[in-house]
Amino acid sequence: MSTIVEMKTLNKFYGSHHVLKNIDLSVARGEVVVVIGASGSGKSTLIRCVNGLEMYQNGSLLVDGYPMPVEEDRLLGGESELAAIRKGVGMVFQQFNLFPHKTVVENITIAPMRVHRKSKAEAEATALRLLDRVGLKAHAHKYPGQLSGGQQQRVAIARSLAMEPHLMLFDEPTSALDPEMIGEVLDVMRELAADGMTMMIVTHEMGFAREVADRIVYIDQGAILEVGKPDAFFDNPQNERARAFLARVLKH
């Protein structure tokens, strides 16, 4: 299997605060990697580095065959790889971040039309097919404000898929949802995983993580402490802090 993401001794600082410490992690094509850890452990920052929403200061990061430039190079204008990487990497956010002034269909078609120069008809056909896939075809011409949180998040997933990404990043996709809506979003993600999409997921849904992940990455205070198969990780974590963390979150 070829590698799609490769991080080598990646370090990130906010000023003097060391947020990510010597991260070594690679993700194979077709793999589903779930990143778990306590709030503030740096897991969101980690996956936001992958599509360049966060900059890192040293180490190396290879995404989809392109080297992601370090902060110094980006500030000096070396960002040509960034656009290429982003075309191939989709991202779903905690707060959905749909464009409120555009209809559902316009949300999905704008990037394919602007970035891939697709015709309107072609982009709309793709959009409707994707909306059908996430079960929202009937809502195509509504505005995001008229949809529930779960529906908005499914639109956000469809919007990312419209760019035909090679890798999908999910940053706590269900954390802002009411409990009864979490299931519908996780179902869509399950189907994506079953179709062979490469995914990096940050989530607090442990049951879902165990079911869908190929590998679990446990991160604490900016460092990866344990990487393992889901069953091995959840049943018998090796790391002391991972054990304590699981005891805390699985108690409920």
Residues 157-176 that bind other proteins (CB under 8 A): 159-160, 163, 169
Given the complex with other proteins, which of 104 and 242 has the nearer CB atom? Answer: 104
For residue 83, state whether it binds other proteins (rule: CB under 8 A).
Answer: yes
Site for other proteins in 45-74 (CB under 8 A): 51-53
Cβ proximity to other proteins: between 19 and 246 the closer is 19
3 state SS for 4-34 = EEEEEEEEEEECCEEEEEEEEEEEECCCEEE
Residue 93 binds other proteins, judged by CB under 8 A: yes
101 is a site residue for other proteins (CB under 8 A): yes
Smallest distance, other proteins to C-beta of residue 65, A? 15
How many CB atoms sit inside 10 A of residue 154's CB?
Answer: 29
CA distances from 144 to 96, 108, 201, 208 (A): 10, 12, 24, 26
- Which of 12, 43, 86, 139 is close enough to bind other proteins by CB under 8 A? 86
| Minimum CB–partner distance for residue 107 and other proteins (Å) | 9
User: What element of type H or E holds 44?
Assistant: helix 43-50
- Per the document, the length of the chain is 252
Contact (Cβ atoms closer than 8 angstroms) between residue 108 and residue 127: yes
Q: What are the two backbone dihedrals, phi and then psi, of residue 202, each rounded to the nearest 5 degrees? A: -105, 125
Q: How far is the CB of 229 from other proteins (least distance, A)?
A: 29
For residue 201, report the phi and psi dihedrals to the nearest 5 degrees: -125, 130
Q: Which stretch binds other proteins (CB under 8 A): 17-25, 85-93, 183-191, 210-218?
A: 85-93
Minimum gap (Å) between residue 241 Cβ and other proteins: 30
Q: Does 114 bind other proteins (CB under 8 A)?
A: yes
- By CB under 8 A, the residues from 5 to 24 that bind other proteins are none
Residues 181/149, Cβ–Cβ less than 8 Å: yes
Judged by beta carbon, residue 22 or residue 103, the one nearer other proteins is: 103
CB of 26 to other proteins, least distance (A): 21
Give the Cα separation of 242 and 197 in Å (integer): 27
Shortest Å, Cβ 134 to other proteins? 17
CA distance 175 to 5: 25
Q: Which two structure tokens, joined as six digits, stand for 48?
A: 């936001």
Question: Which residues sit at the interface with other proteins, rule CB under 8 A?
Answer: 51-53, 83, 86-87, 89-91, 93, 95, 97-101, 110-111, 114-115, 143, 145, 156, 159-160, 163, 169
